[in-house]
C-alpha cells in the first residue's frame, strides 16, 4: 500500500474510470454540500455556509473543466504529462477534502452534541461515496479521507472535551486504519481486473492476428492449388499427346483436348463413359492389354481408330495411378501419322540422293575406260585406213593387232560393268573380297590409263615390295588408284610440268599393306590440302572436274576396306598413301 503511494503511476484506464464517474462527482461535490447546507442552515452562520457551498461549486466547476481536458489527452499524451494532470486532479480532491474538513470543524464550533454526531454520520456517507468514486486512484481516496479525518479529529480534540467526542475521535482514527486497507484492496481488485481485461484484449488481438495470418496463408495455398490445378489442366490440354485416363474396366473417365481432336469426337462428353478398346484397331486389341500390363514405361506402337473408323498409328505407353483409392491408368499416345509420313519421305529422298550419287560415281569412273575404248577403236580405224593388207604377212599382222585391241576393249568393257556392280553394291555390306596378287590391281589400273599417260609423256616408275596374294576389294582399290593417277595427270597438264613423273611404291607393313603414289607436279597448296577429300571440292572447271574423285576414294578405302587414305606434300609434288589392313 505504501509502495503504491510512493509513485504516481496509474493505469490509464483506471484514471479514465475516475474521470468518467460524473454521477459520483455530482453526489460528492454538489449533492452532499447542498445537504450540509440544508442541515446546518440555522446553526452555522449563513455567510459561512454560503462560502462553503460556493467554494464547493467552484471546485466542482474547476474539476469538471480539468477533467474534460484530461480525458481528451489521456490516451495520447506521454506518461509524464499524464502524471502532471493527475496531480492537478489530486490537488482539487485535496481542496475538496479541506473544504469538508472546514465544514466539519464549523459544526464542532457551532452545533450542539447531537448535531455533531449527525455530522459524523454525514461524513460516513461522504467517505462511503468517496470510496465508490475515488477508488480507481488510490492516491485520491487516501488524500480525501486522510485530509478530512485529520482536520475533523484535530478540531474534535481541540474544540471539545466530552467523553463522547473523545470516543468519536478514536472511532474515526480507527475507521481510517480499517478503511484505507479496504480501499486499497478495492483498488487492487480493480487494477487486476483491468490488467486481466488488457491481457485478454492482447490475447484476443494476437489470436486475431494469428487467425488472419492463417487465413491469408490458407488463401495463398488455395490460390496456389487452384493455379496449379489450372496449370495442370492447361498442360494437359496444350500437349500434343493424347492423354486418356481409364478405370479398371477400361472405361474412359477423362481425356485431354488432343485426344478429343485425334479421335475426331465432337466433344469430350462423346468419349467419357465409352470403352477404350472400341477405339483401338481390331488387330491391336491384344497389344493394348500388353501395354496396359506393362509398367516399365516403355512405349509401343498401337494402331488406333477414329470415330469415323479411320485408323492412325500411335506410340503408346501407360502408367498406373491410384486416385481416391481407385486404381486408374493413364495412357499416353503420340500420333505417329505425320512422323511416319515424314520418315517415308525422308527415306525416299535419301534413296534418290543415293541413286544420284551412284550415277555421278559411275559416270566419273566410266570416263577413263570409255576414253580408252574410244582410243582403241580410233587405233583400229587408223590402222585399217592406212594399211595395205594384200599378202599373208600383212594379214597376220592385222589379225594380231585386232586381237590385242579386241582383248583390251573387252577388258575395258569388263571394267565398266564391274564398276556398275560395285556402285550398286556400294551401300551393301555383304560384298565379297577377292584373293589376288596385291600388285596386279595396280597393273590393271595402269592398263586403262597407260594410253593417256604415254600420249602426255608421263613417266611411271614402280617399286613393288609386297608380291603376295591378298584378299581385297580389287575393283574398288583400282578405282582409287585410277583417281589418284588421273589427278596427277590433270595437274601435270594444267601446270605444264616438265619431265612429269609418277612413282608407285608398295610395302607390307606390320599391320597393313601400303600403296604410295607420288608425283612431281608441285603439290597442293597448304590452305586447301585439308579440303581435297570433301565431296564436290575441286579447283578445276566444271567440265574437267566434279570434285568427287578423292571423296569417293576415301569412302571406298576407309568405309569399305577399313583402311586409310592420306595425302601430304613432298618436296616437288604430292604423295597419296593408301593403307589397307591385312585382314
Ligand atoms: N596430284 C595432285 N596435284 C595437285 N592437286 C591435286 C592433286 N590431286 C588432287 N588435287 C587437288 O584436289 C582437288 C580434288 O580432287 P578430286 O579428285 O576430288 O576432284 P577433281 O579431280 O577436281 O574432280 P573429279 O571429280 O573429276 O576427280 C583437285 O581439284 C585438285 O585441286
Ligand atoms: Mg579427280
Atom of ligand 1 nearest to the CA of 487: 8
Q: What is the pLDDT of residues 426-484, one digit of tens each?
A: 655 556 788 999 999 999 888 888 888 998 999 999 999 999 999 999 888 988 998 99
Question: What pLDDT is recorded for position 119?
Answer: 82
Residues 92, 85: Cα–Cα separation, whole Å: 11
Q: What is the pLDDT of residues 503-513, one digit of tens each?
A: 999 999 999 99
Q: What is the pLDDT of residues 307-366, one digit of tens each?
A: 989 999 999 999 888 877 888 999 999 999 998 898 888 878 877 776 777 787 788 888
Distances (CA, A) of 284 to 244, 268, 313, 422, 480: 17, 24, 11, 43, 52
260 has a pLDDT exceeding 80: yes
Instruction: Give the mean pLDDT of 543-565.
Output: 88
For residue 506, what is the enclosing H or E element? strand 501-508
Q: How confident is the model at residue 395 (pLDDT cuts 50, 70, 90)?
A: confident
**13-22, 180-189, 357-366, 544-553: segment of lowest average pLDDT:** 357-366
Residues with Cβ within 6 A of ligand 1? Answer: 364, 483, 487-488, 491, 519, 521, 524, 532, 537-540, 545-551, 574
Pocket test for ligand 1, best of 523, 529, 538 (most atoms within 8 A of CB): 538
Atom of ligand 1 nearest to the CA of 367: 26
Measured CA angle at 17 (ends 14, 22), to 5 deg: 155
423 has a pLDDT exceeding 80: no
Burial 337-372 (b: 16+ CB within 10 A, else e): eeeeeeeeeeeeeeeeeeeebbebbbebbbebbeeb
Q: How confident is the model at residue 425 (pLDDT cuts 50, 70, 90)?
A: low
Domain boundaries, the chain: 2-205, 240-335, 359-581
Residues 525, 73: Cα–Cα separation, whole Å: 102
Q: What angle do helix axes 474-495 and 392-424 make, rounded to 10 degrees?
A: 110
Mean pLDDT, the chain, rounded, equals 88
Looking at ligand 1, which residue's alpha carbon is closest to its atom 6?
524
Q: Which percentage of the chain shows pLDDT scores above 90?
A: 39
Question: What pLDDT is recorded for position 427?
Answer: 55
What CATH topology corresponds to 359-581? Heat Shock Protein 90 (3.30.565)
Pocket test for ligand 1, best of 367, 494, 533, 549 (most atoms within 8 A of CB): 549
Cα 532 to averaged position of ligand 1 atoms, centre (Å):
7
Cα 435 to averaged position of ligand 2 atoms, centre (Å):
28
> 262 and 308 in contact (C-beta within 8 Å)?
no
Cα 408 to averaged position of ligand 1 atoms, centre (Å):
27
Q: What is the pLDDT of residues 221-232, one digit of tens each?
A: 998 888 887 887
- Best CA proximity match to 55, nearest among 82, 92, 88: 92
How far, in whole angstroms, is CA 142 from its chain's centroid? 73
Range 240-335: architecture per CATH: 2-Layer Sandwich (3.30)
How far, in whole angstroms, is CA 564 from its chain's centroid? 50
Q: Which three cell numbers stand for residue 243?
A: 492423354
Atom of ligand 1 nearest to the CA of 552: 18
Considering every ligand atom shown, identify the ligand nearest to the alpha carbon of residue 567 and give its number: 1
Looking at ligand 1, which residue's alpha carbon is closest to its atom 17?
549
Cα 101 to averaged position of ligand 2 atoms, centre (Å):
139
More confident of the two residues 277 and 545: 277
Cα 501 to averaged position of ligand 2 atoms, centre (Å):
17
Instruction: Give the mean pLDDT of 517-546.
Output: 91
Distances (CA, A) of 111 to 100, 131, 151, 162, 574: 16, 27, 17, 14, 153
4 has a pLDDT exceeding 80: no
- CB atoms under 10 Å from CB of 311, counted, come to 15
Atom of ligand 1 nearest to the CA of 519: 1
Question: What pLDDT is recorded for position 426?
Answer: 60
Q: What is the pLDDT of residues 127-172, one digit of tens each?
A: 888 877 888 888 888 999 899 889 988 888 888 878 888 888 888 8
Considering every ligand atom shown, identify the ligand nearest to the alpha carbon of residue 554 and give its number: 1
Q: What is the pLDDT of residues 46-93, one digit of tens each?
A: 899 999 999 999 988 988 888 888 888 888 888 888 888 889 889 988
Amino acid at each position: 500500500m505504501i509502495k503504491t503511494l510512493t509513485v504516481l503511476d496509474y493505469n490509464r484506464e483506471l484514471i479514465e474510470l475516475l474521470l468518467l464517474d460524473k454521477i459520483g462527482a455530482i453526489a460528492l461535490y454538489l449533492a452532499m454540500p447542498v445537504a450540509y447546507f440544508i442541515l446546518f442552515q440555522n446553526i452555522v452562520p449563513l455567510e459561512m455556509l454560503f462560502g462553503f457551498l460556493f467554494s464547493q461549486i467552484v471546485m466542482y466547476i474547476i474539476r469538471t473543466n480539468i477533467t474534460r481536458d484530461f480525458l481528451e489527452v489521456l490516451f495520447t499524451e506521454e506518461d509524464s504529462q499524464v502524471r502532471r494532470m493527475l496531480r492537478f486532479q489530486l490537488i482539487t480532491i485535496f481542496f475538496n477534502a479541506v473544504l469538508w474538513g472546514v465544514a466539519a470543524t464549523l459544526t464542532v464550533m457551532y452545533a450542539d452534541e447531537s448535531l455533531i454526531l449527525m455530522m459524523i454520520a454525514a461524513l460516513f456517507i461522504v467517505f462511503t461515496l468517496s470510496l465508490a468514486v475515488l477508488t480507481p486512484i488510490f492516491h485520491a481516496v487516501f488524500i480525501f479521507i486522510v485530509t478530512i479525518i485529520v482536520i475533523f479529529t484535530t478540531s474534535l480534540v481541540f474544540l471539545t472535551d466530552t467523553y463522547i467526542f473523545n470516543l468519536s475521535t478514536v472511532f474515526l482514527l480507527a475507521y481510517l486504519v480499517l478503511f484505507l486497507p479496504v480501499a486499497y484492496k478495492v483498488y487492487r481488485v480493480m487494477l487486476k481486473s483491468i490488467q486481466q481485461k488488457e491481457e485478454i484484449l492482447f490475447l484476443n488481438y494476437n489470436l486475431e492476428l494469428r487467425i488472419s495470418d492463417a487465413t491469408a496463408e490458407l488463401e495463398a495455398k488455395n490460390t496456389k492449388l487452384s493455379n496449379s490445378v489450372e496449370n495442370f489442366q492447361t498442360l494437359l490440354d496444350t500437349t500434343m499427346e493424347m492423354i486418356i485416363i481409364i478405370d479398371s474396366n477400361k472405361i474412359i473417365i477423362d481425356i485431354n483436348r488432343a485426344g478429343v481432336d485425334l479421335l475426331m469426337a465432337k466433344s469430350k462428353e462423346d468419349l467419357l463413359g465409352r470403352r477404350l478398346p472400341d477405339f483401338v484397331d481390331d488387330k491391336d486389341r491384344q497389344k493394348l492389354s500388353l501395354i496396359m500390363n506393362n509398367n516399365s514405361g516403355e512405349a509401343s506402337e498401337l494402331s488406333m481408330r477414329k470415330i469415323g473408323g479411320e485408323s492412325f498409328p500411335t506410340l503408346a505407353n501407360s502408367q498406373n495411378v491410384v486416385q481416391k483409392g481407385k486404381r486408374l491408368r493413364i495412357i499416353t499416345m503420340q500420333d505417329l501419322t505425320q512422323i511416319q509420313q515424314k520418315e517415308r519421305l525422308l527415306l525416299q529422298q535419301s534413296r534418290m540422293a543415293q541413286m544420284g550419287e551412284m550415277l555421278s560415281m559411275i559416270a566419273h569412273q566410266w570416263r577413263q575406260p570409255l576414253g580408252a575404248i574410244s582410243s582403241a577403236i580410233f587405233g583400229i580405224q587408223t590402222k585399217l585406213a592406212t594399211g595395205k593388207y594384200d599378202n599373208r604377212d600383212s594379214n597376220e599382222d592385222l589379225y594380231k593387232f585386232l586381237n590385242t585391241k579386241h582383248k583390251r576393249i573387252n577388258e575395258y568393257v569388263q571394267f565398266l560393268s564391274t564398276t556398275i556392280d560395285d556402285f550398286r553394291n556400294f551401300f551393301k555390306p555383304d560384298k565379297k573380297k577377292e584373293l589376288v596378287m596385291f600388285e596386279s590391281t595396280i597393273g590393271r589400273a595402269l592398263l586403262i590409263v597407260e594410253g593417256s599417260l604415254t600420249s602426255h609423256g608421263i613417266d611411271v616408275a614402280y617399286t613393288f615390295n609386297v608380291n603376295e596374294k591378298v584378299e581385297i576389294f580389287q575393283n574398288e582399290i583400282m578405282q582409287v588408284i585410277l583417281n589418284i593417277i588421273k589427278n596427277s595427270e590433270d595437274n601435270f597438264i594444267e601446270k605444264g610440268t616438265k619431265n612429269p613423273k609418277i612413282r608407285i611404291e608398295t610395302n607390307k607393313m606390320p599391320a597393313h599393306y601400303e600403296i604410295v603414289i607420288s608425283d612431281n607436279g608441285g603439290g597442293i597448296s597448304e590452305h586447301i590440302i585439308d579440303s581435297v577429300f570433301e565431296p564436290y571440292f575441286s579447283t578445276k572447271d566444271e567440265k574437267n572436274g566434279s570434285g568427287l574423285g578423292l571423296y569417293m576414294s576415301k569412302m571406298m578405302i576407309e568405309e569399305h576396306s577399313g583402311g586409310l587414305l592420306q595425302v601430304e606434300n613432298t618436296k616437288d609434288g604430292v604423295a597419296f598413301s593408301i593403307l589397307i589392313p591385312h585382314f
